[in-house]
Structure 1
């Protein structure tokens, strides 16, 4: 038995055979159902040779082994005297901590809404610039029409929020939007003296708000499931929509509306207290310095509800939006420092590209493409962003519109507040220059090695010049590429199983990213392993925790041993069915033998076709 000693150690550290109720495996990990979790010595297990990581959650106790886990599992169940179980775990609904579940929901809800918010914010900046320069008058019809876009986005924000979060909360998007539209209608929004069923309703302004509609949509999702359970199927089409609306509206007006407004007021009170006691400059400085870490952890959107609440209550945001802009500019400065320091033309192109992207307010390519690899730029941004944020905080810089990045700077002069604009410009200049200087002085960690490699090649002209060969991997599906760090699975997002990317699919076809051989097709059809002639091992993991679906919604076209070419169909997946079953449909593509190569470089985030290059492997 090849893994006997390894399995004996696992059994001992997990609390002995008697503590193991069941053990199954998926593509990369052993999943234990334990009688007593407290008996498991997690830290000792993490230190074992052959164990990548240990994850304990409400579903199971998971020991991440790698793609050879099936061999380990086969020997383990023999040693335990258990029957050869299927790869599926018992169907257990994952229960998150309420606070984490709420933060995840807010972050996921805000992501699609950011697009119209950015458009309205930038428009506000341009309108401020036009009025400052005299191109437009604030009373002109053109100004009024264009400004109506900005006003409409924020007035009807509850409708956008309802559309964004409805599916995540098992509610009908159309009914959620109808409820939100009702709340912002002239009959209800900020109207005094309303009552329902003889109960007096408090006067509430639902326009520009976001918390009441999130709570209302959550309730709508619960009510929808309840009605589907008890209303006969032949009546559901007619009865459910009207019952949902006539129940959700009063409950929202009586309960969720006031609760949402109180939460918003509470947040405003907390930060006002912080401002009056310590000064908001502390929070602004820290956020400007550490925002790249939050983005890397997938928490970059957590500040958006807070900023929206500030703008709604105070007319401006004194902390987060200015800090976000200063941090983005510092990221751009750090990349400029690396651009000036680099001698390699490919590096210069990379640093220059991500520097321009960051100065326009999109820092993910820099953070995931450069910061994670070189690490020292984090220090440069902490220096530049921190100093710039400190200056902005001490000068009480205010952000009047929901906008960030260089293009949003004119909005800081709204209400003819030119001093505010001046201080903000000084802040971003400080952040940019300080981060650029810091990055230049800190240097590029791998530069010396690359220089030595070039010198060696010059000294040995007979050496094969193309020893640094690149292998491109093409996308496995049409959709949106996201950094691996944003994937909601710890084993993959930490890079423990290799470098790679995530894809949010927009089509139901999964194709091969390379020419090679199919090494394994998992029995539940949710994972496929490929190997190229160069030895690159590619794992395509379709969805997160979809092993629990036991192959439902998956139709695999290939089998182990098949030869495939790039672009060849591997599987078709009903992703809507996967989402309806409550699972994340993100496709994860990782190079499981990453350590065998010089580097694995992901392409920048954004839209993908199935023919687009998504990873580059440096041999």
Structure 2
């Protein structure tokens, strides 16, 4: 057994055989479901020979060992006394109060994420109407203004309907059954109605428009009711009885239990922030959020502010804290990257900093945060100072966000709160940008990186002058835009631990993956999402389609090659529906790495952003 020592150590360090609930693997990692993750000694596992890294998330406890994972897995299963075939990894269930709270936060975050576009649209409509009314083209008292304002207001009034559909989709329920609950709550007979009784019980007067907590809890309860009804009702009658009975059983629970709970939570959030605003002032919260939002993005916690914002909009009609702080922080991130852009002397560095700077300007800061901030660390200081100053000004001036909007494009919407509101927001954004840019330029780029770039430049110059260096070019794999490997969302790949390479952002609904080299297929994963190719020169290439897409079990993928098959450059390896993969909640990025990068002098990625010539391997 080639990996007996490694597997013995792994079994011991994850808490023993009794702590292993299920095992599976993808193309580079063992994926374990552990009964108690606290028993796993993660840092010791990371230090084992043969282990590249450990990723512990809600999907699984993942031990990254490399592309020989199948051999490790087979021996691992044999040592556990289990058959390697037919094992499926289970999603870990929440344990204890902490686990339940985490599951609830994830559910809220993912539910909100699905409806962000329509909420943003409503906020932008408010900004457009504010600009038009200020110009005098349309009066606020006109029916034209009323029509478009109704479109905006309708989105928030019927928010429970959107929440119901989004939550039902996540919980694998019929969206229309869930929406029926929301429609019932928003009917004139229920929404804000007084004197209602249910079997003699006096119902409190609750307005369900603009709310999300009662319907979110209601859909969760609906999923439980539906599950148990399907267990006790014969399959031939389920189509007729389950929807009706689940609605009849769930609706009263919302009215009696979840409606009051939602009101209490909403009032509690408002009371908490009112205390802040009436004591130390909301300015400090705005300042701190604008300064530290990049850290929340790294932790994946930024989305958890959505419920707070929606609660503000539903109860106050505006957001006094979060979204303008987020905008100031985004622009400060843009400023920090612009400062690095001015400071950088290398062409490909300037291109990278310029690209992520523009992305942050549009309100998308993840490429900058994960691609630059985490790597260099110094830009965090720039945003803390620049974003903090901008947030301080906005907080002291009492800036308000009048809709669910953020980013540069959202600035006109602040006119809906008055000219003064708009002016102070613009000033805050400018201060955040300039402050972060100045600090980033001043602290500079770490010298270690500059030295690495110098070595790379020398290699390129040697190639251009034909000084005896041989190379293998990794050509086109798919239509799309090449991005630095550091920008992909999978941390194991992004860190370069699995080899140097690039990512490709797909641009077509259905992408075709072709072989970029001539060689032998060494890996053709059963779920059709990953392929390995070895060239005659010995270059080992891994093409991984999407992040965590092994969980799709082949859905949306079609494979055209088998392990051991010889392929030529341009042969079709696979096809996949990138849009469907993204709709299913997975990142559709194509990841390409040379897994034996350490065997070569260097692996240089293309710097032109195109996906035609991806990598050059220096032999």
TM-score, normalising length: structure 1: 0.82
Q: Secondary structure at the match of 2:381?
A: helix
Structure 1's 433 and 177: CA in aligned 2 closer, same or farther, altered over 3 A? same
Give the structure 1 partner of residue 109 of structure 2.
Answer: 107
List runs of 5+ in structure 1 lacking aligned partners.
605-611
Structure 1's 167 and 8: CA in aligned 2 closer, same or farther, altered over 3 A? closer
Root mean square deviation, CA, Å: 4.3
- Structure 2 CA distance for aligned equivalents of residues 459 and 307 of structure 1: 55
Matched, 1:440 2:441: yes
Structure 1's 546 and 288: CA in aligned 2 closer, same or farther, altered over 3 A? same
- Structure 1 CA distance for aligned equivalents of residues 443 and 162 of structure 2: 44
- Structure 2 CA distance for aligned equivalents of residues 194 and 482 of structure 1: 59
Give the structure 2 partner of residue 27 of structure 1.
Answer: 27
1:226 to 221, 228, 250: 228
Q: Is contact 1:536–1:591 with CA below 8 Å preserved after alignment?
A: no
Q: Is contact 2:156–2:209 with CA below 8 Å preserved after alignment?
A: yes
Q: Is contact 1:484–1:492 with CA below 8 Å preserved after alignment?
A: no
Q: Is contact 2:486–2:496 with CA below 8 Å preserved after alignment?
A: no
- Structure 1 CA distance for aligned equivalents of residues 197 and 409 of structure 2: 46
Q: Is contact 2:340–2:445 with CA below 8 Å preserved after alignment?
A: yes
Query: How many pairs were matched up?
Result: 601
- Structure 1 CA distance for aligned equivalents of residues 143 and 469 of structure 2: 63
Give the structure 1 partner of residue 561 of structure 2.
Answer: 558
- Structure 1 CA distance for aligned equivalents of residues 574 and 349 of structure 2: 35
Give the structure 2 partner of residue 206 of structure 1.
Answer: 208
Pairwise CA distance, 1:94: 2.2
Pairwise CA distance, 1:372: 4.2
Q: Is contact 1:579–1:585 with CA below 8 Å preserved after alignment?
A: yes
Give the structure 2 partner of residue 608 of structure 1.
Answer: none
Pairwise CA distance, 1:199: 2.4
Matched, 1:65 2:65: yes
Give the structure 2 partner of residue 355 of structure 1.
Answer: 357
Deviations 1:157-187 (A, max 9, x none): 1111112121211221111122212222222
Give the structure 2 partner of residue 135 of structure 1.
Answer: 137
Deviations 1:466-523 (A, max 9, x none): 9999746545999xx9997656xx7567765457669899978874464454211345
Q: Secondary structure at the match of 1:116?
A: helix
1:396 to 395, 398, 403: 398
Give the structure 2 partner of residue 422 of structure 1.
Answer: 423
Structure 1's 76 and 293: CA in aligned 2 closer, same or farther, altered over 3 A? same
- Structure 1 CA distance for aligned equivalents of residues 110 and 151 of structure 2: 24
Q: How does 1:252-271 map to 2 (within 5 A)?
A: 252-271=254-273
- Structure 1 CA distance for aligned equivalents of residues 525 and 15 of structure 2: 29
Q: Is contact 1:485–1:494 with CA below 8 Å preserved after alignment?
A: no
Q: Secondary structure at the match of 1:518?
A: strand
List runs of 5+ in structure 2 lacking aligned partners.
none
Q: Secondary structure at the match of 1:540?
A: strand
Q: Is contact 1:204–1:257 with CA below 8 Å preserved after alignment?
A: yes
Q: Is contact 2:331–2:432 with CA below 8 Å preserved after alignment?
A: yes
Pairwise CA distance, 1:15: 6.3
Structure 1's 557 and 36: CA in aligned 2 closer, same or farther, altered over 3 A? same
- Structure 2 CA distance for aligned equivalents of residues 102 and 280 of structure 1: 27
- Structure 2 CA distance for aligned equivalents of residues 164 and 602 of structure 1: 39
- Structure 1 CA distance for aligned equivalents of residues 156 and 429 of structure 2: 27
Q: Is contact 2:313–2:403 with CA below 8 Å preserved after alignment?
A: yes
Q: How does 1:499-518 map to 2 (within 5 A)?
A: 511-512=513-514, 514-516=516-518, 517-518=520-521
- Structure 1 CA distance for aligned equivalents of residues 115 and 414 of structure 2: 22
Q: Is contact 2:605–2:616 with CA below 8 Å preserved after alignment?
A: yes
- Structure 1 CA distance for aligned equivalents of residues 326 and 613 of structure 2: 29
- Structure 2 CA distance for aligned equivalents of residues 168 and 289 of structure 1: 33
Structure 1's 300 and 557: CA in aligned 2 closer, same or farther, altered over 3 A? same
Q: Is contact 1:190–1:204 with CA below 8 Å preserved after alignment?
A: yes
Q: Secondary structure at the match of 1:537?
A: strand
Matched, 1:520 2:518: no
- Structure 1 CA distance for aligned equivalents of residues 135 and 45 of structure 2: 66
Structure 1's 477 and 292: CA in aligned 2 closer, same or farther, altered over 3 A? same
- Structure 2 CA distance for aligned equivalents of residues 307 and 369 of structure 1: 28
Q: Secondary structure at the match of 2:574?
A: strand
Give the structure 1 partner of residue 149 of structure 2.
Answer: 147
- Structure 2 CA distance for aligned equivalents of residues 159 and 533 of structure 1: 58
- Structure 2 CA distance for aligned equivalents of residues 320 and 614 of structure 1: 42
1:381 to 380, 383, 401: 383
Q: Is contact 1:526–1:542 with CA below 8 Å preserved after alignment?
A: yes
- Structure 1 CA distance for aligned equivalents of residues 411 and 576 of structure 2: 46
Q: Is contact 2:123–2:402 with CA below 8 Å preserved after alignment?
A: no
Q: Is contact 1:26–1:87 with CA below 8 Å preserved after alignment?
A: no
Worse-superposed segment, 521-530 or 285-294: 521-530
- Structure 2 CA distance for aligned equivalents of residues 361 and 470 of structure 1: 36
- Structure 2 CA distance for aligned equivalents of residues 212 and 375 of structure 1: 41
Q: Is contact 1:505–1:587 with CA below 8 Å preserved after alignment?
A: no
Q: Is contact 2:157–2:210 with CA below 8 Å preserved after alignment?
A: yes
Pairwise CA distance, 1:295: 2.6
Deviations 1:168-218 (A, max 9, x none): 112211111222122222222112122233322211111111111111111
- Structure 2 CA distance for aligned equivalents of residues 451 and 69 of structure 1: 35
Deviations 1:396-442 (A, max 9, x none): 222222221223223333353x3332222211111010111122223
